Amino acid sequence: MKIATKTNYLKLKTLLNEQYKAITSRFWSSETLVMVTFAIVVGLGAGFGTIVFIRLITFFNHLFFENGKLLGLPGNTYVILLPIVGGLIVGPLIHYLAPEARGHGVPEVLTAIAMKGGRIRPVVVFVKALGSAITIGSGGSVGREGPIVQIGAALGSTIGQVFKLSDRRIIILVASGAAAGIAATFNAPIAGVMFAIEVILGEFGIQNLSTMVISAVTASVVSRAILGDYPAFTVPAYTLASPWELPLYLGLGIVAGFGAILFMKTLYFMEDIFDNWKFPNYLKPAVGGIGLGIVGFFIPRVFGTGVSSQ
């Protein structure tokens, strides 16, 4: 009796193993099924990661600006010190744990795609999130766009590496993670997908598009369920009162275009100065914080992301 029972158990185990191998074989051989599954996983990860990132920014913003008053300095002079303190924390954090997390975020993702097949170290997810949250929370005059793109891309890359996917699949997941990050943080899934197509991949494909759309929508659903269904930027209602307004809009566009060029040139100029400066890299953020703190003392609105709610 025991021999018969053991024989049946072994037959059942063999049958289950064969069924499992058949199912997994069909799964990995189906490009659509693989990419849709991982697109959902990346979207969920980017959605929850964005929520944690935004909450971290709020936490550090409260920690620095509320507790900074306890320093006892006259008036609001304490705000001059906050970006410096934030730089002293973030500089060593990035320098020693993940040097590739420094910078804007998007160029680093493009470099990973071009040079490393989309492979980004998993530690970048945590270091970039924590470092950017401390930077913004202490008054750093930067946005959430670059950090969340690199965080989402690093998450997609990590998932692809864990499951040993091909370079092409990893790159698609990197772009999907970037799209999901933008979609979740700005409640704008279409904008996230278009950004990933135009900036990250630079090419259009039905397979790529569907994967990024699924990731972006998944991340947006997660973000809306927890943070609420609110637009990142509220545009007031407006009606055209006179056709003479149109030339003014044209002029505004031209001025904004030249302003953007001036900003980029100035940004790259300052980056070159800091890159060529023979000074410890882990202390450079604190030096930049000195200038930001002084400017922020006179113009407080330069602190943080520039969005009313950080």
CATH of the domain at 266: 1.10.3080.10
222 backbone dihedrals φ, ψ, rounded to 5°: -60, -45
- CA gap 27, 129 in Å, rounded: 33
Pick from 18-27, 116-125, 150-159, 280-289: least confident: 18-27
Is there a contact between 75 and 62 (Cβ–Cβ < 8 Å)?
A: no
* 100 assigned to some structural domain: yes
What would the DSSP string read from start to end of 83-102? Answer: HHHHHHHHHHHHHHH-GGG-
Say if 168 falls within a structural domain: yes
Q: Distance (Å, rounded) from C-alpha 209 to C-alpha 2?
A: 57
CA-closest candidate to residue 232, choices 187, 181, 184, 182:
187
Structure tokens at 144: 């959430």
Residue-wise pLDDT for 51-72, tens only, equals 999 999 999 999 998 887 767 6
For residues 176 and 39, the answer to whether their CB atoms sit within 8 Å is: yes
User: Per the domain annotation, does 240 fall within a domain?
Assistant: no
Banded model confidence at residue 304, pLDDT cuts 50, 70, 90:
confident
Has residue 191 been placed in a domain? Answer: yes
Q: Report DSSP letters for 166-212, one per residue.
A: -HHHHHHHHHHHHHHHHHHHHT-HHHHHHHIIIIII-S--HHHHHHH
Confidence category of residue 21, pLDDT binned at 50, 70, 90: confident
Full domain range(s) for residue 52: 9-232+252-302
- Considering the domain boundaries, does residue 309 fall inside one? no
Does any domain span residue 3?
no
Instruction: Write out pLDDT tens, residues 98-114.
Output: 888 887 888 888 888 88
pLDDT in tens, 204-230: 777 788 899 999 999 999 999 998 877
Asked whether residue 238 is assigned to any structural domain, the reply reads no
Domain for residue 278, yes or no?
A: yes
Name the least confident of 4-13, 57-66, 88-97, 216-225: 4-13
Number of domains in the chain: 1
d(CA 215, CA 162): 18
223 with 47: CB under 8 angstroms? yes
Task: Give the pLDDT of residue 310.
Answer: 43
Residues 39, 41, 45, 48, CA torsion sign: positive
